[in-house]
Amino acid sequence: MFFVLLILGIVARTSYGLPAFLEVETSLGSVRGLQMQTRFGNKFWGFRGIRYAAPPVAELRFQSPQPVNAWKPMIFDATQDGPRCPQVTKNTTDLSEDCLRLNIYTKHVQNNAKKPVLVYLHPGGFYTLTATSPYAGPEYLMERDIVLVTLNYRLGSLGFLAAGTADAPGNMGLKDQVMALQWIRQHIVRFGGDPNLVTIWGYSAGSRSVGLHMMSPMSHGLFHRAIMMSASPLGAIRYRYNQTDLAERQARLLNCPANPTAVMIKCLKEKPMMAFVNTTEAMFEFEWNPLINWEPVIENDCGQERFLVEDPYKTMLNGNLNKVPLIIGTNEYEFYSPAYYNLRNETRRQRFNDNFATYAPLYFKYERDSHRSQRISSALYSFYFGNHSLEYPGSMKAFGQLYSDAIVGFNYYRFLKLVEKHVPVFTYFFNYKGRYSFFRNPETNETHGAVHHDELLYLLNFSVKAPIFRKSDPENDLIERFTRMWASFAKTGNPNKCQDEYLKDILWPTYTADRKEYLEIGSQVHLKTRGIFTERLEFWDNLFPPGEMLNTDVISKCL
């Protein structure tokens, strides 16, 4: 057996009572992985912290990622997590700009295994979180016959500073994801994966990323299915050609000149990594608002390969997409948690009561300081609150609905409504109230229901939030259904699998505009029609007609 593995470019080493290691040969050099086990004790191999791009430091800061240099004849040690990308965190010891790493989990390392590849893009608003194993553990999905890849991408100003110039065009974090997908296409076969059967799957900011990959020419041919959970890139904000205001704010915070732009960028390139981390909160306008601060941009043509060459609304309306089967969904109480803490705070509640039209656009991400903005704010106040003052706890339900619809619900519905004309779409509604959640009411210590991120607890081992669930736990059936549907979709483009013991009674049809079919996923699974929160989300759809969301500015030249 050792001889056969050696011929395949694979070397296995183990000693009784010690961890088992595996070395896989790639064109870049050998990669050493570690044997791990699923929640049921089944063995698989983990290759963690593999560098997929050159460290984006010095002159490469704010630039498109560059290919990683080969490390042979050295062996790349991928037996533990790599560093996290710079972000606000209590423990900063594992932060590094050399964070463009991916993790591969596989049961099959033969070249001819050709298993479906599921690539996970993590959430975090483009400024936080990571794909390291405490936040994206593989122990659930590796019960399925797939290869799982999770990856980091640059965040905050280091990943999305967009000055509209050649030295800082923007979208660096999204281009990192493209570079990772190119690495996967070239090397995943050595880890048992099929480069022609790649599914990109994202949550929140990762879901926005997936939607943009469906519209980016850079991503064409790099994936073959897509899964979008709790966000999309089409909402109530128009796309811009740069975020010079944000770049200049970063410059001021780090004592760099705001102009000329070339001097500003040169100064920012010389600042230490932790200077960006330590000024993250100050980069937001007001108490970590707007919630989504760094945005993807339509790139000016400065001679670089551009991730977004036109307004995503234009791309979608013209159907000029990377057309692949899609799963897209949302959950019951998406942003109930920030709604709860803001409404319970008397000072913040009073701000909304005193000047809703000023604070609502900032919190809920739509245009500000215009007659149209005033009209939208008035309509929202009337629709959700009947023009009554906000009270705690009396307004909690309505305020939670407004927060959720503004940040997730509307952009989910907008993308679904437009994309179903072009690709087969399966949509779901998650409403499982579990023992563990990303929101627990501090007054009762009880979970409220399915809030933002909660679905991830049943697809990934999110060990910083919940224990690993076993077969005897009440979460088991949900994990089995979720992971089996996702694996089936990755393999066939269809989440249904009638011969599967957990899926045999589930019939999940594609979404149609007339019936609006969706799968309700809770303690049980039910097929429903007439759409999710249709009245509320149609209200938003009418407030922000797609044609009015197009950026009609003259295309900006490279600054």
Asked if 354 and 429 touch (Cβ cutoff 8 Å), the reply is no
Cα–Cα distance measured from residue 22 to residue 179, given in angstroms and rounded to the nearest whole number: 25
Strand spans (E) along 193-287 = 193-203, 225-229
Q: With respect to residue 318, please indicate whether it lies within any of the assigned structural domains.
A: no
Cβ atoms within 10 Å, residue 289: 16
Asked if 364 and 465 touch (Cβ cutoff 8 Å), the reply is no
376 in the same domain as 298? no
Cβ atoms within 10 Å, residue 529: 11
- For residue 169 the two structure tokens come to 């065009």
Looking at the structure of the chain, the number of domains it has is 2
296 in the same domain as 361? no
Give the DSSP letter string of 445-467. Answer: --B-S--TTGGGGGTSB-TTTSP
CA 111 to chain centre: 30
287 in the same domain as 387? no
Of 54, 59, 304, 269, which is closest to residue 165 (Cα–Cα)?
Answer: 304
Domain end among 308, 340, 374: 308
Asked if 329 and 428 touch (Cβ cutoff 8 Å), the reply is yes
Residues 113-158 pLDDT 10s: 999 999 999 999 999 999 999 999 999 999 999 999 999 999 999 9
Q: Which residues are catalytic?
A: 204, 334, 452
Give the helix/strand (H/E) hosting 316. Answer: helix 312-317
What's the whole-model pTM score?
A: 0.96
376 in the same domain as 288? no
Residues 337-370 pLDDT 10s: 999 999 999 999 999 999 999 999 999 999 999 9
Average pLDDT, the chain: 95
Distances (CA, A) of 227 to 31, 160, 233, 324, 413: 29, 23, 13, 10, 15
Q: What is the pLDDT of residue 309?
A: 96
372 in the same domain as 297? no
Q: With respect to residue 87, please indicate whether it lies within any of the assigned structural domains.
A: yes
Asked if 280 and 87 touch (Cβ cutoff 8 Å), the reply is yes
350 in the same domain as 219? no
Q: With respect to residue 15, please indicate whether it lies within any of the assigned structural domains.
A: no
Q: What is the pLDDT of residue 435?
A: 98
- For residue 99 the two structure tokens come to 């964070």
Q: With respect to residue 520, please indicate whether it lies within any of the assigned structural domains.
A: yes
DSSP conformation class of 169: -
First to last CA, the chain: 60
154 in the same domain as 217? yes
β-bridge pairing 326-331 and 225-229: parallel
Q: What is the pLDDT of residue 552?
A: 84
29 in the same domain as 140? yes
Cα–Cα distance measured from residue 325 to residue 328, given in angstroms and rounded to the nearest whole number: 10
Buried b (16+ CB within 10 A) or exposed e, 480-490: bbbbbbbbbbb
Q: With respect to residue 336, please indicate whether it lies within any of the assigned structural domains.
A: yes
Whether 12 shows a pLDDT value over 80: the answer reads no
Range of the domain at 423: 330-482+493-548
What CATH number is given to the structural domain containing 156? 3.40.50.1820
Asked if 151 and 182 touch (Cβ cutoff 8 Å), the reply is no
Q: With respect to residue 322, please indicate whether it lies within any of the assigned structural domains.
A: no
349 in the same domain as 230? no
Looking at residues 486-513, what average pLDDT do you find?
97
429 in the same domain as 335? yes
More confident residue, 6 or 515: 515
Asked if 399 and 343 touch (Cβ cutoff 8 Å), the reply is yes
244 in the same domain as 121? yes
Distances (CA, A) of 499 to 193, 402, 502: 24, 41, 9
Burial of 436 (0-12, 13-18, 19+ CB in 10 A): middle
Q: What is the pLDDT of residue 9?
A: 52
Give the helix/strand (H/E) hosting 381. Answer: helix 371-385
Cα–Cα distance measured from residue 362 to residue 290, given in angstroms and rounded to the nearest whole number: 5
Domain end among 308, 340, 357: 308
Residues 505-529 pLDDT 10s: 999 999 999 999 999 999 999 999 9
458 in the same domain as 497? yes
Q: With respect to residue 124, please indicate whether it lies within any of the assigned structural domains.
A: yes
Whether omega before 73 lies within 30 degrees of 0, making that bond cis, reads yes
Residues 539-556 pLDDT 10s: 999 999 999 999 988 666
Q: What is the pLDDT of residue 136?
A: 98
Q: With respect to residue 79, please indicate whether it lies within any of the assigned structural domains.
A: yes
Asked if 361 and 473 touch (Cβ cutoff 8 Å), the reply is no
